[in-house]
Amino acid sequence: MQDKTHLVDEITGHRRMRRNRKADWTRRLVQENRLTVDDLIWPIFLIPGSGIADPIPAMPGVNRMTVDKAVEAAKEAADLGIPALATFPNIEMHLRDETGSNSLEANNLINQATAAIKKAVSNLGIITDVALDPFTSHGHDGILRGNEIVNDETVDQICRAAILQADAGADIIAPSEMMDGRIGAIRRALDRAGHQSVGIMSYATKFASGFYGPYREAISTGGLLKGDKKSYYIDPANGTEAIRDAALDVEEGADMLMVKPGLPYLDICWRIKEAFGIPTYAYQVSGEYTQIKAAAMNGWIDGERVMMETLLCFKRAGCDGILTYFAPEVARILAKRG
């Protein structure tokens, strides 16, 4: 009887993929992608007041924080080696109006937090968003006139807000409202105001996704939203349109590009990195975070393993970094692993 191993060798030749998988040390030698603390950006939520860390029910383990607590979080991030925070405000309802005018207050919540964090932890990067949804009474990312989110008026306002955020100490402006022409307009506005060194991380491909629900609870816009955001976010079915959007942002001067949401759009991450070769990031959004947390809390998955696996998938898809609510947890795990 012919030896079965011999038969396998005749079929495959001498190609044995398992040779490189046989032991931990060989797997480590041939590992193609690695996740490090340098890949992490930590999004945090801000609320008015002092001394408050308010748990978000839909996002287990994530709190809304007053500025003093945000400063403590920033110090923790710096100690863990996390390069940057991204801040999102939940302002009082009486400050929200049809045009999001509080975005133009120099001492608004987001700018207070930036100034305080920069004073306490000067070497930590601060990334701020100029979208109007935390400031509007209708929950949209831009100015609502009748039933339309008006493009150019919104762009004018977010340019002015970007200057104020840069004045407060923001290192990177990350516009997420998906208005046409915003990247070039913000770049020109920042340069004219003397902020040539402030970068722009464009939410280049932000999809009209169902994964944003917990985030909207976190900034208290879920119950405010009139209609939907499909007239300015990208249809989840459209990959080529997303690449065209990203190309326009590159032409207009974006320093970095972001894909949002993250895991359902790994193909877009890969295509953007391959097409443009500039720093590319993914936002592992609230719905992605909550799915993992909820399944882990129910014992249905190994939460730590899945968390780390998903983040490594972003690296494999070409991302230079990830905005993730898991950032401090991951940073502590990586530190223990040495």
Task: Please give the positions annotated as active site.
Answer: 206, 260
User: Would you say the C-alpha torsion 87, 93, 99, 101 has a positive or negative sign?
Assistant: negative
The total of other beta-carbon atoms located within 10 Å of residue 189's CB is 20
SS3 state at 126? strand
**Exposed (0-12), middle (13-18) or buried (19+): which is 40, by Cβ within 10 Å?**
buried
Of 222, 315, 199, 213, the closest CA to residue 262 belongs to 315
Assigned token pair, 114: 């930036």
CB 46 within 8 A of CB 66: yes
d(CA 45, CA 64): 5
| C-alpha 323: how far from chain center | 4
CB 140 within 8 A of CB 101: no
d(CA 72, CA 117): 9
The total of other beta-carbon atoms located within 10 Å of residue 165's CB is 30
d(CA 205, CA 228): 17
CB 124 within 8 A of CB 68: no
**Exposed (0-12), middle (13-18) or buried (19+): which is 95, by Cβ within 10 Å?**
middle
